[in-house]
Amino acid sequence: MESIRIDILNPKAKQLINSLAEMDLIKKRKEKNKSEFTELLASLRKQSKDIPSFEDITKEVESVRNQRYENKKSNS
């Protein structure tokens, strides 16, 4: 099986692709796009000696959220 990536410029082309898929001549699947955040993390991890785990990142995010919540509470 050969895979290719196609950028659809005209809606008529999408109709043709859908027709080919209905005739079981091709199989369509959506590509998963990497988010900018994922790409940034990958870049930072390449440059770092100590790679933070997902759990470490989650703990840090929760810590910052809690601090913000407490600051908002005290300012109210």
Domain boundaries, the chain: 36-75
- Comparing CA positions, the residue from 27, 36, 20, 21 lying closest to residue 4 is 27
Contact present, 30 and 24 (Cβ < 8 Å): no
Average confidence (pLDDT) over 26-34: 80
Check: pTM over 0.85? Answer yes or no: no
* Digit-coded pLDDT (tens) for 32-48: 777 788 888 788 878 87
Coil/strand/helix, residue 17 = helix
pLDDT at position 72 is: 78
Task: Flag whether pLDDT at 23 surpasses 90.
Answer: yes
